[in-house]
């Protein structure tokens, strides 16, 4: 249905102010999610659940992807002020639920990250913590910068009268510390890596000194080395990445074979074999299924879609004057791009394997809805705002 520029309804204003190219790219990714679940989930469901439930995973993901598209559009209707409020409430709720997993969550593969909810099945609350924490961090850093500007404008007396320039960034770091402790206890080092990396990127964009960035980077490298020596599962993954003979590399070997068999144009829809032998073919290794059945061309298109969303979002921020919007959108884009990179690079054996979903393409209700929440926030923040007061900027 055509929407006139003279339409002043909520949907009319939304249509002419939202980034329609980014929205289209995100919807195409959701479309790829439908295709990949149709390709991979029946074989996984038959192997794990039984032949009577071959379509169960697909039907569930169809519902989740439909809800994700609706959630993304609904959140993109919000003003930046409402996005900030939603993020604060979401961060507090997700943090409480993530902490609850340590007490009442159930354990899978040595990690306690999920809650069992009546009628809804399982949920990983830390997935929702990622986008909400990125926006909350942006708000705190923007408030700190605003306090710093007021302090500098008031001279020595102003510096004493506006302690917020230190308190807001400190609060962000303290919140990061609490989140890090909870994620370490689960344990979920992949999620922790993404959260810390995104937070560091936001501090850098906010004006963190390059020397401080170097110090933080060195500290992160030291912690990574310590994790290698202290945590057996981390050491095992790194050793198997550097030397395949050091342990079981079944999944990554099958993944690389799938890409090789797929070639340029793939074996064809439904003709892949890797989904019949890989336990996580519908989730962590869905990119390998795409490589085998649809070939390099389709994989390159998927990669281009992720790159387009990230690069276009960053380009749109060049003309943005609201520091909160810049920092929040930067965090959401960094999170989105980093998660996609980790998934695809793991499947291609470019980095040690890490269980992380491919946004909108992999199976997973919590992941899909959380990514939709983050991308809805991104679309809301990057909307053109000719009348900032009217749109609640």
pLDDT given for residue 92 in this prediction: 96
| Higher-scoring residue by pLDDT: 389, 4 | 4
Q: In this model, does residue 221 exceed pLDDT 60?
A: yes
Contacts of 221-228 with CB under 8 Å at 24 or more apart are 227/189
**Average pLDDT along the chain:** 85
Under the banding of pLDDT at 50, 70 and 90, the label for residue 153 is low
Lowest-pLDDT choice from 43-57, 308-322, 328-342: 43-57
Q: Pairing mode, if any, of strands 111-117 and 121-123?
A: antiparallel
Is-contact 95 182, C-beta < 8 A?
Answer: yes
Find the mean pLDDT for residues 49-54. 58
Which is more confidently placed, 159 or 377? 377
Which of 135-144, 153-162, 211-220 has maximum average pLDDT?
A: 135-144
Question: What is the pTM assigned to this prediction?
Answer: 0.90
pLDDT band, residue 47 (cuts 50/70/90) = low
The pLDDT value recorded for residue 212 is 78
Share of the chain above pLDDT 90, in %: 46
Rounded to 5°, angle at Cα 129 from 75 and 207: 90
Q: Which two tokens stand for residue 127?
A: 């997935």
**Which residue did the predictor score with more confidence, 311 or 44?**
311
At 326, is the pLDDT very low, low, confident or very high (cuts 50, 70, 90)? very high
Question: What pLDDT does 148 receive?
Answer: 78
- Lowest-confidence pick of 53-57, 238-242, 248-252, 341-345: 53-57
Average pLDDT over residues 229-241: 81
pLDDT at 51: 56
């Amino acid at each position: 249905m055509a929407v006139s520029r003279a339409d002043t309804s909520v949907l009319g204003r939304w249509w002419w102010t939202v980034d329609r190219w980014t929205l289209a790219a995100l919807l195409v990714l959701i479309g790829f999610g439908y295709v990949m679940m149709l390709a991979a989930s029946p074989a996984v469901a038959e192997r794990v659940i039984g032949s009577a439930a071959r379509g169960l995973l697909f039907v569930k993901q169809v519902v989740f992807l439909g809800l994700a598209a609706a959630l993304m559009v609904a959140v993109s209707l919000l003003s930046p002020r409402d996005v900030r409020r939603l993020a604060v409430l979401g961060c507090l709720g997700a943090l409480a639920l993530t902490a609850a997993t340590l007490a009442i969550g159930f354990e899978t593969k040595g990690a306690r990250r999920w809650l069992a909810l009546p009628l809804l099945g399982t949920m990983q609350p830390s997935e929702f913590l990622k986008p909400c924490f990125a926006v909350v961090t942006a708000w705190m850093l923007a408030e700190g910068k605003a306090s710093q500007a007021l302090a500098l404008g008031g001279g020595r007396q102003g510096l004493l009268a506006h302690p917020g320039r230190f308190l807001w960034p400190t609060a962000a770091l303290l919140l990061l510390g609490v989140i890090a402790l909870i994620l370490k206890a689960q344990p979920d080092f992949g999620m922790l890596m993404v959260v810390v990396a995104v937070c560091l990127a936001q501090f850098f964009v906010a004006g963190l000194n390059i020397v401080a960035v170097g110090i933080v980077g060195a500290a992160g490298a030291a912690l990574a080395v310590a994790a290698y020596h202290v945590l057996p599962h981390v050491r095992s993954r790194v050793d198997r990445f550097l030397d395949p003979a050091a342990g079981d590399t079944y999944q990554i070997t099958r993944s690389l074979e799938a890409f090789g068999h797929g070639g340029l144009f793939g074996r064809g829809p439904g003709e892949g074999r890797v989904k019949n032998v890989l336990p996580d073919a519908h989730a962590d290794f869905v990119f390998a299924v795409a490589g085998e059945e649809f070939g390099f061309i389709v994989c390159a298109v998927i990669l281009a879609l992720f790159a387009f969303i990230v690069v276009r979002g960053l380009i749109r921020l060049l003309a943005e004057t609201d520091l909160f919007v810049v920092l929040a959108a930067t965090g959401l884009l960094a999170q989105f791009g980093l998660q996609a990179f980790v998934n695809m690079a793991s499947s291609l054996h470019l980095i040690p394997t890490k269980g992380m979903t491919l946004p909108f393409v992999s199976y997973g209700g919590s992941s899909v809805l959380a990514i939709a929440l983050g991308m809805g926030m991104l679309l809301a923040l990057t909307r053109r705002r000719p009348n900032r007061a009217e749109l609640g900027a």
